[in-house]
Amino acid sequence: MFRSCLYLLLCLVFTVQADTVNYPAIDDPTDHRSTYAIALLELALKKAGSTATLQSTSSRVSRSRALYLLESGAELDVVWTMTTIEREKRYLPVRIPIYKGLGSYRLLLIRSEDQAKFSALEGETALKQLMMSQVHDWVDTEVLRHNKFKVLDASGYQTLFQMLLHKRVEAVPRSVLEITAEQQQFADQGLVIETDWLLHYPGAVYFFVSPKKPQLAQQIESGLRQSLKDGSFDLLFQKHFVSHLHKMKLSERKLAELENPFLPPETPLAESSLWYQPE
2 three-state secondary structure: helix
pTM of the model: 0.83
CA angle, residues 229, 41, 141, in degrees to nearest 5: 105
Question: What pLDDT score was predicted for residue 60?
Answer: 82
Give the count of beta carbons closer than 10 Å to the beta carbon of residue 118.
19
Query: How many angstroms separate the CA atoms of 120 and 196, rounded?
Result: 10
Amino acid identity, position 227: S
Give me the half-sphere count of Cα atoms (radius 13 Å) on the Cβ side of residue 174: 23
Question: What pLDDT score was predicted for residue 16?
Answer: 37
Rounded-to-10 torsion of CA 139, 57, 52, 79: 0
Q: What share of the chain is helix, strand, coil (3-state, %, to 5)?
A: 45, 20, 35
pLDDT in tens, the chain (279 residues): 545 444 444 444 434 345 899 999 876 666 667 889 999 999 999 999 999 999 998 888 878 889 999 998 889 999 999 999 999 999 999 999 999 999 899 999 999 999 999 999 999 999 999 999 999 988 899 999 999 999 999 998 899 999 999 999 999 999 998 899 899 999 999 999 999 999 999 999 999 999 999 999 999 999 999 999 999 999 999 998 888 788 898 999 999 999 999 999 999 999 999 998 876
Phi, psi of 214 (to 5 degrees): -60, -30
Question: What pLDDT score was predicted for residue 32?
Answer: 67
Domains parsed from the chain with CATH numbers = 2-101+204-247 (3.40.190.10), 103-200 (3.40.190.10)
Query: How many angstroms separate the CA atoms of 172 and 202, rounded?
Result: 19
- Residues sharing a CB contact under 8 Å with residue 194, sequence separation 6 or more, in sequence order: 107, 108, 109, 110, 115, 118, 171
- Residues sharing a CB contact under 8 Å with residue 23, sequence separation 6 or more, in sequence order: 38, 41, 54, 55, 56, 57, 76, 77, 78, 79, 80
CA angle, residues 42, 32, 184, in degrees to nearest 5: 175
Question: What pLDDT score was predicted for residue 160?
Answer: 95
Question: What pLDDT score was predicted for residue 26?
Answer: 76
Query: How many angstroms separate the CA atoms of 106 and 153, rounded?
Result: 17
Are the CB atoms for 56 and 26 separated by under 8 Å?
Answer: yes
Question: What pLDDT score was predicted for residue 8?
Answer: 46
Rounded-to-10 torsion of CA 227, 232, 236, 242: 110
Strands 197-200 and 254-257: parallel
Question: What pLDDT score was predicted for residue 31?
Answer: 65
Give me the half-sphere count of Cα atoms (radius 13 Å) on the Cβ side of residue 86: 6
